[in-house]
Amino acid sequence: MTTPAIELRGISKAFGPVQANKDISIRVMPGTIHGIIGENGAGKSTLMSILYGFYKADAGEIFINGKKTEIPDSQHAIAAGIGMVFQHFKLVENFTVLENVVLGAEDGAMLRPSLAKARSQLKQLAEEYELNVDPDAVIEEIGVGMQQRVEILKALYRQADILILDEPTGVLTPAEADQLFRILGRLKEEGKTIILITHKLREIMEITDTVSVMRRGEMTATVKTQDTSPPELAELMVGRKVLLQVDKVPAKPGAMVLEVKNLNVTDSGGVHRVKDVSFTIRAGEILGIAGVAGNGQSELLEVLGGYEFGKGEVLINGQSIDLTGRHSNGQTRRERGIAHVPEDRQREGLIMDFMAWENIAFGYHHDPKYQKNRLFMDNAAIRDDTADKMQRFDVRPPNPMLQAKSFSGGNQQKIVVAREIERNPDLLLVGQPTRGVDIGAIEFIHKQIVALRDQGKAILLVSVELDEIMSLSDRIAVMFDGKIMGERLPEKTNVKELGLLMAGVAGEAA
Amino acid sequence: MDLLTLLQVLDSTVRMATPLLLACLAGLFSERAGIFDIGLEGKMLAAAFLAAAIASVTGSAWIGLVAGIGASLVLAIVHGLASITFRGNQLISGVAINFFAAGITVVVAQSWFGQGGRTPQLSDGARFQSITLPFAESLSGVPLLGPIYKELISGHSILVYMAMLIVPLTWWVLYRTRFGLRLRAVGENPAAVDTAGISVVRLRYSAVLICGVLCGIAGAQLATAEPAAGFIKDMTAGRGYIALAALIFAKWRPWYALMACLLFGFLQALELRPDLITNVIGIKVQGQLLSALPYIMTVVILAGFVGKAIPPRAGGEPYVKER
Amino acid sequence: MEKMPKWADIFLIPLVSLVLAAIFSAIVILAIGEDPWAAVKLMVKGALGSTYAWGYTLYYATNFIFTGLAVAVAFHARMFNIGGEGQAMLGGLGVALVCLYIPWPHWSLALIGASVGAALFGAAWTAIPAFLQAKRGSHIVITTIMFNFIANALLVYLLVNVLKPVGMMEPATSKFPKLIQLPSFRDMFSTADTIMFRGAPANITFFVAVAACVAVWLLIWRTRLGYELRAFGHSESAAKYAGINPTKIIMVSMLISGGLAGMMAINNVMGEAERLVLNAVEGAGFIGIAVALMGRSHPFGVFLAALLFGFLYQGGAELALWTSIPREMIVVIQALVILFTGALDNMVRMPLERLFLGLRRKPAAKPAAAE
């Protein structure tokens, strides 16, 4: 029997009161691709960060090629032949590709010889693994796919034999992802060991040899990929049978609520993010916007939500709203009946240091029912309202005096959803409603969104999760590079067709 | 205005610019590594005091210099502890250091020398004297170049020449060495440095310590290099802040730092000779306006009306491994 | 789950920091050959031992309440206003102009006028840094520092060249009219038989300062503006999502901050000196930073911390009078308080957090959110 390239024995790690990894053991054979799958928050990234020396485990042992190895920091991980490509790249934005590759792996105190050597090595690596990158390009000027290659090159330059990739396809189009998988295949042929962390079943089935499943900080199973199936993996991930479909009756679209005509958005950095986008949503229907992250969906939500400026025309119930001037802000949008569950609840939707009741008033703090008189707010009234909403949305623990940061991701999201849905808006903007949310809360939130639709409200749903788009939407629009590539009906399309649109390959006219 | 007067003004420009320049380069190392330092003033002040005190006790300017650097280093380590180890607020730490230095120098000076917070007058051996460069006298007859050499280039203390040499040295370290690459990286994205297997903490401490050494030299120049002859209460008089302003002016680059400091040094030199301005441009310019000018110019620069000053991206933020 | 109880966060941490600052101060005093315990006794007697002593302590505390509140209000919007010194100088200018050039019929009206003048001038001096921060992203810390120096130069210029009465040597304005002299504590509290607060500068402004504490508390925790200010301070991105206008919050918080710093001048310029002199602020603007940090940016905390610093200031003056410990010792103590309560907060906090976590560690079945 061959020795495993990596063996972890009994790894445990707690962050304060949160147990992120519980007694985890795993063996990865050399020259294989090993997948680690699990929900957000299952502890996958923590485990890999421990292997890379980024965090220190509370207990447990690591063996590399059969040898017990201490990895107190990344330097030791690199020395042990481990390379890691983080979900959020660790690149110096205003350095060149070459400087980024060399950083930390210089040959001597002088810079020039190191750079010269790296330049020739990069050329070699590029030929060997089809990893072409211009060494003199500055990181902030190249695309994310390129940046990811730089990260892989960094690892290879350090002669990594073991490569860990954390959710590598999150920022890639399906086509770019396929290319990445081809590269990983080449690396495997060359005898490298690869660990792929993902929450996407499709990727696991497509490329891995073996797969380990994590749930709530524990390793629940390790199986050969060919011996398993997506439903089985899904069940292992969440611990019970999963309803991948949302129960809903066909939509009964009513009057026009939102009309967007030739909307353009240029961000503060001068980048043209949204290009000539037009669409409509009627009362009682959900329009889903699919697309890889970073293709203009965020900016679209921000403009509609009132905190990014745009050009073009947007009508709510037939009346246009201000997109550039003094009346273009979150307050006026709320007054016009637009509610917004933002993409990033920790950065935008909530103030993590505020208590739950303060967050329930957030954005609606001018509401007359929250005021005692013209001068002062009525904090008691807000607290009562919060207790009521927490109960109806099953927020646990239902304590208005707790800070937002002390709730779990799912309960945080429920606070945001409760606040926005309970406003009974004409139009609800929803961005990534279930990102980092446990399965139970996902089902609850999906039900709330569908219920709001059935009350005759218009809903704009933006999500990078195709499954979510497919199961919730009444119509699907796909965004790529700031443009809407086409609209489809969920029952008349499939993942493959949407994937092509997401990659910018236009199909036949919608 | 004749050539000689001009040279005199330029001569005092160089002298005035030197402590600014050293402090500015000190700040450059620290801030390029992502540690904001508004405590340059305090470090300089502490160094000025201890350099003068020890020089007056031992009679040696060099021992004084070492002591000054030591004092500055102690405060640098405090700043490092606060902003690196304990991830505190770097601005608040800098403010504390400035006050600490402002108070402790007088308290100790008073208890030590009993002269109302100053050190005794330094004898010649206890201070850095002006160096006359070779041939300064014999070449003085050469038109134009001769006087420039004699009046402007020759006749400064060794610390002035050192400061001028530290400019290219800083440039070289920053852009031509491994340490420089890492230093610039850690100020932009410490996570990249950390995952590349380099200790962020060690790197940032080295930057903060270099900053301490340079502030130490700056303080020593202020108190123990001719024509100075000892420490006076509050003698930095805001120079640390002007150096900070110069750093912003220079957009965190070494050669530009030299120019910015020379410019601000020139303004200070003019402040000493208000008669000159009146003579040259014919109107009386308020001394207060001249002394406020560096600050006003910095505000204008910060406002982005003369090119945007973008500080190192990770500046001011303590590095916490993300969770 | 909270890492430690709220009372520990609010009281224990500042207390431990304070003790640390005290220990280091004692070491300094020992090092210069004085007896720390005797120094403390002298300070207590000199700052609290008589109504005269209290009159000075409360006078200083009044200054620090204003500057502390100024820093605290800005802190809530995550603005660091180091410009209190310059704003208080300008506030003094405002007070002087109001008192010298408007013929007030009574001190009470003059007090209102001077308050408005002080607040307006102080606020005006923050307007440019605040605007540059809001619109151009210029770092408010640097610009407010620069404005301190500019304020100083401006005041020197005005006092020397414009406001100084002809024939006077000292750069200062002439005395304010007797008619608008503010009632001192002596006027207010002395009875026919006993004279209290004799010769001490504490005056009615103290009560204005207390009222300012209450007003700031109401503003921060009871009004929509305060809510928006805190929201912005905690998360700028979230504030934008909620439709809170960043420019407005930066401007308003800084103007209020500058106004409060400026209002200090009704105490030191109108209440005490009764004319504007150079360097009237005497570092009180900077002490505001220590006071706000110590008081956890809460008006009640600021009030307590201001009393403490008033005590230190007056006690320090007594020390300088009777021992060889110079007045600058107070600057050292102030620096140590800023260092321990502000910059080294985590040094105190982390061990305490661990302590509390250890005390109540129980099998917490928390949903893991660790990625």
User: Residue B152 pLDDT more than 80?
Assistant: yes
Predicted local confidence at residue A506, as pLDDT? 67
Instruction: Scan residues 159-218 of C and list those with Cβ closer than 8 Å to A.
Output: 218
Residue pair B21/B221 in contact (Cβ under 8 Å)? The answer is: no
In three-state secondary structure terms, A326 is coil
Chain C residues with CB-CB distance to B244 below 8 A: 142, 145
Instruction: Judge whether B223 and B48 are in contact, CB under 8 Å.
Output: yes
The first and second tokens of residue C15, run together, are 């207390």
The per-residue pLDDT for A510 is 39
What is the predicted pLDDT for the residue at C362?
A: 52
Nearest to B292 among C145, C149, C328 (CB): C149
In order, the DSSP letters of A191-255 are T-EEEEEES-HHHHHHH-SEEEEEETTEEEEEEEGGG--HHHHHHHHHSS----SPP-PPP---S
Residue bearing the bigger pLDDT, A157 or A406: A157
pLDDT band at B322 (very low <50, low <70, confident <90, very high): low
pLDDT at B246 over 50: yes
Percent of chain B with pLDDT over 90: 62
Question: What chain B residue is nearest to C320 in terms of C-alpha separation?
Answer: B107
Contact criterion met (CB below 8 Å) for B253 and B261: no
Please give the Cα distance from A447 to A296 (Å, whole number).
27
Band (A17; pLDDT cuts 50, 70, 90): low
Residue ranges of chain C with per-residue pLDDT less than 70 = 1-3, 361-371
Residue C234 with chain A: CB contacts under 8 Å: 351-354
Predicted confidence band at A1 (pLDDT cuts at 50, 70, 90)? low
Helix axis angle, C329-338 relative to B90-113, nearest 10°?
160
Q: What is this model's ipTM?
A: 0.91
C-alpha distances out from residue A35 to A85, A86, A155, Å: 14, 15, 19
Q: Which of C2, C230, C237 lies closest to A348 in CB terms? A: C237
pTM over 0.90: no
The amino acid at B19: P
Least confident range from A69-78, A465-474, C245-254, C352-361: namely C352-361
Q: State the average pLDDT over residues B99-119.
A: 92
* CATH of segment(s) A256-502: 3.40.50.300
Measured between CB atoms, does B154 come within 8 Å of chain C? no
Q: How far apart are CA A246 and CA A470, in angstroms?
A: 10
**pLDDT given for residue A262 in this prediction:** 96
Q: Which of residues 110-169 of C touch B (CB under 8 A)?
A: 128-129, 132, 136-139, 141-143, 145-147, 149-150, 153-154, 156-157, 161
CB contact under 8 A, C240 and A18: no
- What values do phi and psi take at B218, rounded to 5? -60, -45
Q: Which residues of chain B lie closer than 8 angstroms to C350, CB-CB? A: 86
Closest CA to B79 of B46, B117, B118, B52: B46
Q: CA geometry: angle at B48 spanning B45 and B49, to 5°?
A: 90
Query: Rounded distance, CA C121 to CA C264, Å?
Result: 11
Q: Which candidate from A86, A106, A111 shows the least CB-CB separation from B195?
A: A86
Q: What is the pLDDT of residue C364?
A: 44
A6-238: what CATH class? alpha beta
Which chains have 3+ CB pairs within 8 A of C?
A, B
Residue type, C167: G
Identify the chains in contact with A, defined as 3+ C-beta pairs within 8 A. B, C
* C139 close contact with A: CB closer than 8 A: no
Q: Does B237 touch chain C (CB under 8 A)?
A: no
Using an 8 Å Cβ cutoff, are B193 and B204 in contact? no
Does A256-502 match A6-238 at the fold level?
yes
pLDDT tens-place string over residues C80-117: 999 999 999 999 999 999 999 999 999 999 999 999 99
Structure tokens at C294: 């110590």
Using an 8 Å Cβ cutoff, are C262 and C63 in contact? no
Q: Within 10 A of B73 (CB to CB), how many other CB atoms are there?
A: 21
CATH architecture of B3-302: Orthogonal Bundle (1.10)
> Rounded to an integer, what distance in angstroms lies between the CA atom of residue A208 and that of residue B215?
57
Q: What span, in angstroms and rounded, lies between the C-alpha atoms of B282 and B275?
A: 10
Residue pLDDT, tens place only, C3-48: 678 888 888 888 999 999 999 999 999 999 899 999 999 999 999 9
Judge: A75–B198 Cβ closer than 8 Å, yes or no.
yes
DSSP B149-202: IIIIISSB-HHHHHHHHHHHHHHHHHHHBHHHHHHHHHHH-HHHHHHTT--HHH
| CA nearest to C179, candidates C102, C245, C117, C86 | C102
Residue B76, chain C, CB below 8 Å: the answer is no
Residue predicted with more confidence, B293 or C229: C229
**CA–CA gap between residue A368 and residue A76 (Å, rounded):** 60
B202 at A interface, C-beta within 8 A: no
Interface residue B201 vs chain A (CB under 8 A) = no
Inter-chain contact C242–A19, Cβ cutoff 8 Å? Answer: no
Residue A245's pLDDT band, with cuts at 50, 70 and 90, is: low
Task: Write out the two tokens for A63.
Answer: 């063996």
Whether B82 and C343 lie within 8 Å, measured CB to CB: yes
**How far, in Å, CA of A371 to CA of A340, rounded?**
22
Cβ(C100)–Cβ(C174) below 8 Å: yes
pLDDT at A438 over 80: no
| Report for A131-135, A235-239, B145-149: range of highest mean pLDDT | A131-135
3-class DSSP string for B187-249: HHCHHHHHHCCCCHHHHHHHHHHHHHHHHHHHHHHHHHECCCCCCCCCCCCCHHHHHHHHHHH
SS3 C113: helix
**A18-27, A249-258, B70-79: the lowest-pLDDT one:** A18-27
Give the closest residue to C114 by CA, choosing from C279, C267, C288, C258.
Answer: C267
Pairwise CB contact (< 8 Å): A349 & C218 = no
Q: Hey, what domains does chain C have and what are their CATH numbers?
A: 37-354 (1.10.3470)
Q: How many other C-beta atoms are found inside a 10 Å radius of the C-beta of residue B123?
A: 12
Q: Using alpha carbons only, how large is chain B's radius of gyration in Å?
A: 20
Residues 20-79 of C with CB under 8 A from B: 28, 31-33
- At A102-114, the pLDDT tens digits run 999 999 999 999 9
The amino acid that residue C55 corresponds to is: G
Closest partner residue to B198 among A100, A104, A112, by Cβ? A104
For the segment B54-76, the average pLDDT, to the nearest whole number, is: 96
Nearest C-alpha in A relative to C220: A376
Q: Name the residue among A295, A340, A294, A346 with its Cα closest to residue A316.
A: A340
Task: Give the model's confidence band at A242: pLDDT under 50 very low, under 70 low, under 90 confident, else very high.
Answer: low
Local confidence band at A243 (pLDDT 50, 70, 90 cut-offs): low
Which chain B positions have a beta carbon within 8 Å of A92's beta carbon?
184-185, 188-189, 192
Which residues does residue A37 pair with via DSSP β-bridges, in sequence order? A198, A213
Q: Do B302 and C132 touch (CB under 8 A)?
A: yes
Query: Does residue B151 carry a pLDDT above 90?
Result: no
Q: Which of C33, C143, C332 sits opposite B104 (nearest CB)?
A: C332
Q: Is residue A20 classed as helix, strand or coil in its secondary structure?
A: strand
Residues of chain B by 3-state class (helix, strand, coil), percent to 5: 70, 0, 25
| Amino acid sitting at position B234 | D
Domain limits, chain A: 6-238, 256-502
Mark which residues 216-275 of C lie under 8 Å from B by CB: none
Average pLDDT across chain B, whole number: 90
| pLDDT tens sequence across A272-294 | 899 999 999 999 999 999 988 88
d(CA A506, CA A498): 10
Task: Assess whether the previous peptide bond of C14 is cis (omega < 30° from 0).
Answer: no
Q: What is the pLDDT of residues A337-378, one digit of tens each?
A: 999 999 999 999 999 999 999 999 999 999 999 999 999 999
- Are A103 and B192 an interchain contact pair (Cβ–Cβ within 8 Å)? yes
In this predicted model, which residue has the larger pLDDT, A464 or A336? A336
Task: Give how far the C-alpha of residue B125 lies from the chain's centroid of Cα atoms, to the nearest Å.
Answer: 24
Is the pLDDT assigned to residue A507 strictly greater than 60? no
Long-range Cβ contact pairs of C276-279 (< 8 A, separation 24 or more): C276/C92, C276/C93, C276/C95, C276/C96, C276/C159, C276/C163, C276/C172, C276/C173, C277/C159, C277/C170, C277/C171, C277/C172, C277/C173, C278/C155, C278/C156, C278/C159, C278/C171, C278/C172
Residue B32: alpha-carbon gap to chain centroid: 16
